[in-house]
Structure 1
Amino acid sequence: MPEIKYPQGIEKWLLVITAISCAMLELIDTTIVNVALREISGNIGATTTEIAWVVTSYGIANVIIIPLSSMLSNLFGRKIYFTSSVIIFTFASLMCGLSDSLWVLVFWRFIQGIGGGGLLSTAQSIILGAFPPKEQATGQAIFGLGVILGPTFGPVMGGFITDNFSWHWIFFVNVPIGAIAAILASRYVTDLPGVQKLKKIDWWGIIFLVIGIGSLQFILEEGSSEDWFESAEIVFFFTTAVLGIVAFIVRELSIDYPAVNLRLYKSFNLAMGNIMNFVIGMVINGSVFIFPLFTQVALGWTATKQGAFMIPGAIATSVGMIVVSRFLNKGYNPKNIMIIGLLMNSCFLFMLSFSGPDSNETHFFWPFILRGFGTALMMMPILGLAVAGLHGKDLAQATGLSNMLRQMGGAVGIAIINIYLNRSTADIRGNLIGNVSNYNDATSERLGAFTQMFSQAGYSSDQATQAAYSMLDGIVTKQQMLVSYNQGFGMLGFAVLFCIPIILLIRYNKKDKIQVVNEH
């Protein structure tokens, strides 16, 4: 076997910067649109239900193309495929910004998701392939930073752009960055040596994957608004998801040229690493999803204020990545590091579960620093475990599978939190309302004070009474949201602890570091 030559000097870092920039672009666009949906819907005349398709179409395209990235890379060559993905993503971004109707925007968001999905997994294999085995923790840290910083800065950028310019610029900002990235990719990204281009294409495997994973992603994205299995549409897509995924698995395990090599899961640690990737997606996306809702609905924060608050936690994760990469390079047991990170995330969630109506940035600052550092401790070893011992096209397949499972985990986490919040909010409101009565002294006293306040402000007797009841209802609503979110944080905190047995099952040899033997 010929000696593997790794990129050196400026060429190496231009390659890494190109890859991580493209990965961050893709991840930023999974969240940047969310904060601008209200303005977009008003501008193009879409309903709240219809505008959700701007997010859903991107997510469906993303989760379909990510596991196929390795096959497409082998089919066209990694240089052509990655460069083409950048160009497709950039052009689709331009067209999204120029869109003047809902379904035109949805179409180009789907195309953008196809290009973006090709960027994420290929970028990870490019970054890992740029570092020799003894420096793999550095490569994992760099990719891990992109995974964390992209979703964190997306809402901040979205809020700033929407407040100061227009929603169109959420997409236009990708164009110059994408153009530069395409030029750099065509110059520095190389094909994988020794990988033969595909002679046969697994069309049935691709079709089954599109049907199964696409339907599942649709259910997770739209289930909450459609009342889940009360909807005939959700029942239909659930059936197609099950049939599609079963057919896909049977197909991929029965042919010699699968679109996605599921046989890689014979590696126990790869399977455990991907299960943990799924859990990380649930924890990170679940907490990132629930906290903005909590602060904006229960505490009255603006979207920009909430987004800016997340930045110190992301910086803590960046520092944590550097620290953990050094620990891993020195041979520390990654299982111990993961458990410590997991406990830190659990503590963070339990601390948030004691929030009150007077909670502010000061109360949340240190819990989020703890979360940021703990996330680095969880993510770094898992990135290594999920691809350990693989190289070439197997490495590309493994990165595609691990990224798909992290994306799916995020969608599952958000769906579960949505179900929980909807049901718990109704129960909690019922319990609170039971204690609000004209026969209750505290209620009568509070209503009297409110009525007097509005009367002194010039309201008529009837108006003052009505305003007092409305104000009391607002207080009850805020309290119900506060209790509901606190319980949600507590539930997530307990859920994280159930991952400890999974970590303990991972096989680790003290003589070995987490390394990836690969070809670039």
Structure 2
Amino acid sequence: MSAPGTAPLQPLKGSQLALGTLGLSLAVFMNVLDSSIANVSIPAISGNMGVSPQQGTWVITSFSVANAISVPLTGWLTQRFGQVRLFITSILLFVISSWLCGMSPSIEILIAARVLQGAVAGPMIPLSQSLLLGSYPPAKSSMALALWGMTTLVAPIMGPLLGGWISDNYTWPWIFYINIPVGLFSAWVTWSLYRKRESAIRLVPIDKVGLALLVIWVGSLQLMLDKGKELDWFNSGEIIALTVVAAVGLIYFVIWELGEEHPVVDLSLFKGRNFSAGVVAISIGYGLFFGSLVIMPLWLQTQLSYTATEAGKVMAPVGVFAILLSPVIGKFLPKLDARRVATVAFSLFALVFYMRSKFTTDVDTMSLLIPTLIQGAAMSMFFIPLTSIILSGQAPHKIPAAAGLSNFVRIMCGGMGASIATTIWDSRSTLHHAQITEHTGSGNPAFGQTVQQLGQLGIPEPGAWAVIDRTISVQASTMAATDIFWISSIMFLMLIGLVWLTKPSKSSAPVDAGGAH
């Protein structure tokens, strides 16, 4: 967003461009990593602080609630403070809050530090996207998006792996301390290269009512999603109350923002067909992907007796093709119709989930790895073209707001996807368990024969029943997981139609060289 009457800033070149890309990408990697790195460390944290694992999950919930609220504020904050100043301030506050997390002597202080960490992390992802686009020439904007996308693809996979390794080999505070050197380096690089590329600042008045409504409905929705499974969803009065507050708050928020002269979130962006269809497509697709990212390791560990490290190794190869192919896609995308590339991505996702829907309890490692590798290829063609479609045709000064709003919806759908997937998995597991159990009992010869065979091995009858029940549970959970994979496959095919509602857009024109300024 160039200041009025000034020429757009020129793209960076050579070593400055490489260093700028590295600095911005590291900030994103640190941010996304921190949203998932604590997940596997909850037992260690709660045990060390003498609280229950349920109380420990607030370490995750507090971060996600604060983060979800602050992401859509990026557009307004950028106008008020400037995108470079805001980005560097976010990084430095993130470093300080990470240090506070590691130093926390009690669960209450840790949760407070995580709230701060989530709140200041909000603007980092959309602003890194915006700054990176402004660093590259218009013809290479797809390459910028490809390099940015690689970090958002790999970090969610690395989080649980790195978190588990640190918790096993060191102490849990180090999952937060590792942010300090990374954040300081990123802040230094950004300040060195971008301090003279600040965006224009407008003293826009704060929309206090809109901000309050945003906090109310997003906070209520995020709490409902995070606590729904633990509180048995709508059998809980607390969940029902949170749902009502979120729904009413959202309705009032939309009405207020559409009539506000200086809205805290620019909902007028949804008037654009490319923005609205692109955001819905990338958000639902990300929700389906994130749901599987939760279900797969849980299924492998709780049902197939994989260790956390082994499950991580099965999931990790998703990053191989994502990293290798992202620069290639970025290079050739300007010559292609972004809708066609996105169609290939959704088709590959559908194939991946169809292959997973055929998994059985005796699935071998190679059968697990093949769809994971293919998914990496799909991911390399997922973020880049859809982000290009979403940002295409946006006025330069709207880029931070558009990036912030699209990332907010995507992150929110990721959380919803995880909650919905785990809930469906539990309910379908119970259903399949009941259906299989109907065929057991004294009236079933095969059941009686199995009990007799186990008895011959020295297992008493109650023990034999427990062994059979465990076998049924594993089978039921596997069937439930494959149900989710099959549904996801169908939904990915349906999303292709949504992609083709957008207007043709060559990726060379999502933004101009000064688009981020």
1:446 aligned onto 2:450: yes
One of 207, 223, 226 as aligned partner of 2:228? 223
1:297–1:481 Cα contact (<8 Å) kept: no
Task: Classify 1:479/1:66 alpha carbon distance in 2 versus 1 (closer, same or farther; 3 Å).
Answer: same
Long gaps (5+) in structure 1:
456-463
The yes-or-no answer on 1:332 pairing with 2:333 is no
Q: CA deviation at 1:137?
A: 0.5
Look up the match of 1:398: 402
Counting aligned pairs with the same residue, the percent is 27
SS at the partner of 1:4?
coil
Of 465, 488, 499, which residue of structure 2 is paired with 1:503? 499
Are residue 296 (structure 1) and residue 296 (structure 2) matched? Answer: no
Q: 1:493 aligns with which of 481, 489, 494?
A: 489
Deviation of 1:109 (Å): 0.9
Distance 1:198 1:11 in 2: 31
User: Which residue pairs with 2:78 in the alignment?
Assistant: 73
Is contact 2:343–2:499 with CA below 8 Å preserved after alignment?
yes
- State whether residues 283 and 410 of structure 1, in contact with CA within 8 Å, keep that contact through their aligned partners in structure 2: yes
How far 1:262 sits from its partner (Å)? 1.3
- With CA pairs under 8 Å and 6+ residues apart, which has the higher RCO, 1 or 2? 2
Instruction: Specify the code of the residue in structure 2 equivalent to 1:324.
Output: I
Contact 2:33-2:159 within 8 A present in 1 as well: yes
Q: Describe the SS at the equivalent of 1:498.
A: helix
* 1:470 equivalent in alignment to 2:466: yes
Aligned to 2:418: 414
Q: 2:19 and 2:10 mapped to 1: Cα distance?
A: 16
What TM-score results when the alignment is normalised by the length of structure 2? 0.95
Name the amino acid aligned to 1:63. A
Q: Partner residue of 1:460?
A: none
CA distance in 1, matches of 2:372, 2:391: 29
Look up the match of 1:18.
23
The answer (yes or no) to whether the contact 2:286–2:410 under 8 Å persists in 1 is: yes
Q: Distance in 1 between matches of 2:60 and 2:224?
A: 13
1:34-79: CA deviations, max 9, x gaps?
1111121211122232122111111111111111012112222222
1:100 aligns with 2:100: no
Q: Deviations for 1:101-129, whole angstroms, at most 9, x for unmatched residues?
A: 22221111111111221211111111111
Looking at structure 1, the residues matched to 498 and 173 of structure 2 have their Cα atoms a distance apart, in angstroms, of 44
For 1:396, the aligned partner's letter is P
* 1:509 Cα deviation from its structure 2 partner: 5.4
Tell me, yes or no, if the aligned pair for 2:345 and 2:382 is still in contact at 8 Å.
Answer: yes
Gaps of 5+ in 2: none
Give the 4+ runs in structure 1 shifted more than 4 A. 191-194
**2:209 is aligned with what amino acid?**
W
Match of 1:305 in 2: 310
Residue of 351, 371, 388 corresponding to 2:375: 371
* 2:305 counterpart SS class: coil
Q: Look up the SS of the partner of 1:435 in the other structure.
A: coil
Query: In the alignment, is the contact (CA less than 8 A) between 2:11 and 2:137 conserved in 1?
Result: yes
Deviation at 1:372, TM superposition (A): 1.0
CA distance in 1 between counterparts of 2:336 and 2:85 reads 39
CA–CA distance in 2 between the matches of 1:129 and 1:150?
23
* Residues 241-280 of structure 1: CA deviation (Å, up to 9, x unaligned): 1222222222222122221211122211011111112112
Aligned residues: 510
Q: Which amino acid aligns with 1:471?
A: V
Paired letter, 1:22: A
Instruction: Show the 5 A alignment for 1:337-352.
Output: 337-352=341-356
> Structure 2 vs 1, CA of residues 194 and 314 (structure 1 numbering), >3 Å: closer, same or farther?
closer
1:104-115 pair list within 5 angstroms: 104-115=109-120
Is 1:516 aligned to 2:511, yes or no?
yes
Answer yes or no: is 1:281 the counterpart of 2:308.
no
SS of 1:416 mapped into structure 2: helix
For the aligned residue pairs, the C-alpha RMSD in angstroms reads 1.7
Decide whether the 8 Å contact of 1:61 with 1:111 is kept in 2: yes
Deviates more, 1:59-68 or 1:238-247: 238-247
Counterpart of 1:459 in structure 2 is none
- 1:504, 1:293 → 2: CA distance? 35
2:396–2:516: 8 Å Cα contact kept in structure 1?
A: yes
Counterpart CA distance in 2 for 1:519 and 1:106 is: 34
- Mapped to 2, the partners of 1:192 and 1:183 lie a distance apart of 15
User: Would you say 1:437 and 2:441 are equivalent positions?
Assistant: yes
Partner residue in 1 for 2:273: 268
Q: Deviations over 1:212-262 (max 9, x none)?
A: 112111111111112222222122222221222222222222122221211
Q: Cα distance, 1:194 vs. partner?
A: 6.0
